[in-house]
Amino acid sequence: MRENLLDTGAPAQISLRRKVAAFVSLTKPRVMELLLAVTIPTMFLAINGIPHLGLVLVVLIGGALSAGSAGAFNCWFDRDIDRLMNRTSGRPLVTGEISDRAALTFAWILAIVSTAWFALFTNWLATGLSVFAIFFYVVIYSIWLKRRTPQNIVWGGAAGGFPVLIGWASVTNSLSWTPAVLFLIIFLWTPPHYWPLSWRYREDYKVAGVPMLTVVRGRVTVGLQIVLYGWATVTASLLLVPVAGMGILYTVVASSAGTWFLIECHRLYSRALEHVDPKPMRLFHLSNAYLTLVFLTIAIDPLLPF
């Protein structure tokens, strides 16, 4: 684990560039990128065409601020267990690059600015969903459920589904069955996406006392859960065909990519049954590609005449 910069007696001088990078890392940019990547296609589907570029930029900026706030709050609350895990030992609250107080202040500023941004440039429904998304991720998931139940990441998937609702509401000022299905896809996709990662870092979570499913259950049970959630994810993705009237391109891509995804889920489960290395990171990376492909097609399909 990296030495805490504050353990040397006096805080070390940190360059402005490094300080800015540390604050950016609090927002969990990789998670933010994934959330924004599903928001834009949702806006294309909501308008059944190409949304106004100005509105897209507004939602991207507001979504980045909102997701960044949730990430920063999470880093602040999890700073005790982050100090115990090798995977998170480089986070700025562990290294001392940012103080606890500064991180909490930063999180609140992002939350307030994102709320004001959505209220000024979108509508009250999108604004309310943004506020509730932060509340759900921070209070319901991070503070209440993450350290209490092995189903924690399932509820984390619910938090991850809010960006599609926000994107849809920003365009239409309403919700319908289509964004509900989009939300369901992300909700169901999150466990087979994240459990492989937690499998890879099982010892970290065990040391930190976080009851991830991979810590409290055997590998066969985890593998079976991944398969079940994988099937549920692909089924939900195909629900868009009748619910949203998706065309041939989406039907073919969702079916093909879903088959690919399910093969990898079953492969991991089979390796778990055989008591050999399940190679969980293979499924983790593939799941990212799967979701990206599905949502990219969601954006393109409404633009086609068939």
Of 63, 70, 90, 57, which Cα lies nearest the Cα of 28? 70
Tell me: the pLDDT tens digits for 232-250? Answer: 999 999 999 999 999 999 9
Residue 6 pLDDT: 43
Residues 118 and 240 reside in one and the same domain = no
Could you give the residue ranges of the DSSP H alpha helices within 201-279? Answer: 202-208, 213-216, 219-244, 248-273
Tell me: the pLDDT tens digits for 84-107? Answer: 999 888 999 999 999 999 999 999
In a domain, 8, yes or no: no
Tokens describing residue 193 = 């996406």
In a domain, 5, yes or no: no
Residues 56 and 21 reside in one and the same domain = yes
- Domain with 38, as residue range(s), is 17-174
Check whether 40 has a pLDDT greater than 60.
Answer: yes
Give the CATH number, domain containing residue 237. Answer: 1.20.120.1780
Cβ contact 157:195 at 8 Å = no
> Which of 174, 193, 222 marks a domain boundary?
174
> Which of 174, 204, 236 marks a domain boundary?
174
Residue 13 pLDDT: 65
Banded model confidence at residue 126, pLDDT cuts 50, 70, 90:
very high
Alpha carbon separation from 303 to 161, 237, 299 (Å, rounded): 24, 19, 8
Check whether 4 has a pLDDT greater than 60.
Answer: no
Residue 9 pLDDT: 38
Residues 36 and 161 reside in one and the same domain = yes
Tell me: the pLDDT tens digits for 159-193? Answer: 999 999 999 999 999 999 999 999 999 999 999 99
Residues 180 and 146 reside in one and the same domain = no
Residues 211 and 282 reside in one and the same domain = yes
In a domain, 236, yes or no: yes
Residues 154 and 39 reside in one and the same domain = yes
Domain count, the chain: 2
In a domain, 114, yes or no: yes
Give the CATH number, domain containing residue 61. Answer: 1.10.357.140
Which of 80-94, 123-137, 220-234, 256-270 has the least mean pLDDT? 80-94
Banded model confidence at residue 5, pLDDT cuts 50, 70, 90:
very low
Tell me: the pLDDT tens digits for 141-151? Answer: 999 999 999 99
Check whether 12 has a pLDDT greater than 90.
Answer: no
The backbone torsions φ and ψ at residue 106, rounded to the nearest 5 degrees and listed phi first, read -60, -45
Cβ contact 67:118 at 8 Å = no
Residue 31 pLDDT: 84
Q: What is the distance between the alpha carbons of residues 226 and 278, in angstroms, rounded to a whole number?
A: 12
CA–centroid distance for 252 within its chain: 26
Q: What is the arithmetic mean of pLDDT over 21-44?
A: 90
In a domain, 276, yes or no: yes
Tokens describing residue 251 = 């039907």
Check whether 39 has a pLDDT greater than 70.
Answer: yes
Residues 202 and 287 reside in one and the same domain = yes
Residues 192 and 275 reside in one and the same domain = yes
Residue 218 pLDDT: 87
Check whether 10 has a pLDDT greater than 50.
Answer: no
Cα angle 21, 23, 29 (rounded to 5 degrees) comes to 75
Residues 122 and 198 reside in one and the same domain = no
Q: What is the arithmetic mean of pLDDT over 249-253?
A: 97
According to DSSP, residue 8 is labeled G
Of 254, 188, 199, 189, which Cα lies nearest the Cα of 223? 199
